Amino acid sequence: MTVELKKVSSDNLLEVSNLVKYFPLKGGFFRKSKNFVKAVDGVSFFIRRGETLGIVGESGCGKTTTGRTILRLHEPTKGEILFDGIDLRKLKAEELRQKRKDMSIIFQDPYSSLNPRMTVGDIIGEPLLVHGMTDNKQRTAAVHAMLEEVGLAPYHYRRFPHEFSGGQRQRVGIARAVISSPKLIVCDEPVSALDVSIQSQILNLLKDLQRTHNLTYLFIAHNLSVVKHISDRVGVMYLGKFVELAVPKALFAHPMHPYTQALLSAIPHANPDIRMDRLMLKGDVPSPVNPPSGCRFHTRCSVAVDRCKVEDPEWREIRPDHFVACHLAQ
């Protein structure tokens, strides 16, 4: 089937519109779907070619589900995913398999994401084999070159994952993601499982590979400092929705959404003599099975008005390249 090209900006590699992903909750004698976990509920954004879009938010806000749904590791419930002008939701199985060469993912856990029964050389070279590079010598040479590029040695080719440290395993995962020359890589919290001393090395490696291979990243994390360091723009998620998106300088200096302000106030300062006013959020995060009406943050917001309880705020551009979903944002 030929997929119709959409009219999108040539600068945008990815355009996501009203993305929805619900997971059914099955119960009762006949195991019927009685309710749904609304993991992602109407997310819209774009990623320009060669940039890094960071996504932050509390655990369970839908960050990882958003990334995996874009790659169709989870099938979207609703919405449009335009990748290079092609709607990924309309691709059949074989067409999607061919398109996957242009998309990849780096997983959070460098331990469970690698097959313990495969050598590092086979793990890194597997994407090349899947996408048609059947010549063993050519594939081996490509893997050796990739090993050196991510800071490992050619003799690591024959070793197994259990022989490596956590940081080295993540370098193997990065090499596997990059070797097929993708256009887009979803980085699913790639440094959160690593020691702080190793995190900066991995972040610098990702930035170097981005420049060398002209990569575009969707970088998912819960550490605001990490996202600020690596991202060209930062999106903040809360309970399945984006609440704010802007360049790091604007987001960190002038946050417009109360949730973003609360997150930023929790960042510890390097100077212990500087006292920061912490904005404490009241209550717990509501259930994604039964989210609040209106603005989903109104149950924890200190400035919420009656309108926030009944009307879902519009996702709008307040300043150039600064989007927010809040009735009170000026």
Mind listing the pLDDT tens digit for each residue in 79-113? 999 999 999 999 999 999 999 999 999 999 888 89
How much is the pLDDT for 7? 41
pLDDT at residue 1, as a whole number: 38
Weakly modelled stretches of the chain, pLDDT under 50? 1-8
Give dist(CA 164, CA 238) in Å, integer. 36
Q: Is residue 175 part of a domain?
A: no
Q: Is residue 4 part of a domain?
A: no
Alpha-carbon distance values, 284 to 36, 37, 57, 199, 245 (Å): 20, 17, 14, 30, 23
Total domains, the chain? 1
Which among 238, 253, 223 has a CA at the least distance from the CA of 286? 238
Dihedral-angle region of residue 85 (phi above 0 means left; psi in -120 to 50 means alpha; beta otherwise): left
Residue 299 forms part of a structural domain: yes
Among residues 83, 155, 79, the alpha carbon closest in space to that of 119 is found at: 155
**CATH number, domain containing residue 108:** 3.40.50.300
Q: Is residue 104 part of a domain?
A: yes
CB 18, CB 78: distance < 8 Å: yes
**75 is written with which tokens?**
């099938």
Alpha-carbon span 213 to 216, nearest angstrom: 9
> How far, CA to CA in Å, does 245 sit from each of 192, 295, 325?
22, 17, 9
Q: What is residue 2's predicted lDDT score, i.e. its pLDDT? A: 38
Name the residue range of residue 189's domain: 12-115+183-195+204-324
Q: Is residue 142 part of a domain?
A: no
Instruction: Please indicate, yes or no, if residue 166 is contained in any of the structural domains.
Output: no
Answer yes or no: is 164 within a domain: no
Instruction: Indicate whether 296 belongs to any domain.
Output: yes
> What pLDDT, in 10s, does the model give residues 110-169?
888 999 999 999 999 999 999 888 899 999 999 999 999 999 999 999 999 999 999 999
